Amino acid sequence: MKDERSKSSLDEIIGDTPQLKQMLSVGNESGWYDAPVLVLGEAGSGKQLIARAVHRISARRHESFVTVNCPGLGENSLGPYIFGGGDEVEKPGQLEVANKGILFLNEIALTPLAVQSKLLRLLERREI
């Protein structure tokens, strides 16, 4: 028996192309699993809209959804902003703010390699 997640937030996304239909199907499936999701697309294609919809149907729907605009932060401040700490007083990072919720990293490909390697370790080993 499916719970309240069976009412998909992805149904609110309108479009009729085969690519969009396939993406909505995959998005609907991914909301049921506790695994990282990578949403790819051109700037302005609705990646955050898809991520928020997947969040609303996921087991984490009652937790926070935190967005980090990666290119909007300088190279030296992005790592501490995501992971916490930095030059200032010990400050929680956005990972801690998201806690058990979702951390949406907008334009993650534009992050410095040092930050990407920390994120990879987080995904592989689930440790910071």
Q: Are residues 79 and 128 in the same domain?
A: yes
**Residue 87 binned pLDDT confidence (cut-offs 50, 70, 90):** low
Cα–Cα nearest to 74, from 64, 65, 86, 66: 86
**How far is the CA of 60 from the CAs of 56, 85, 123, in angstroms?**
8, 26, 17
CATH of the domain at 80: 3.40.50.300
Find the mean pLDDT for residues 95-101. 91
The reported pLDDT for the residue numbered 64 is 95
The residue range of the domain holding 6 is 1-62
Please tell me which residue, 117 or 21, carries the higher pLDDT value. 117
* pLDDT(28) > 60: yes
Q: Are 81 and 73 in contact (CB under 8 A)?
A: yes
Residue where one domain finishes, among candidates 26, 43, 62 = 62
Q: Are residues 67 and 40 in the same domain?
A: no
Task: Work out the angle between the directed axes of helices 113-125 and 75-83 (0-180°, nearest 10).
Answer: 20
Q: What is the pLDDT of residues 62-72, one digit of tens each?
A: 999 999 999 88
Query: Own/partner pairs for 83-90, CB < 8 Å, 24+ apart?
Result: 83/118, 83/128
Q: Are 118 and 79 in contact (CB under 8 A)?
A: yes
CA 54 to chain centre: 10
The reported pLDDT for the residue numbered 2 is 46
pTM above 0.75, yes or no: yes
Q: Are residues 67 and 99 in the same domain?
A: yes
The reported pLDDT for the residue numbered 66 is 96
Residue corresponding to tokens 């058990």: 100
Number of domains the chain contains? 2
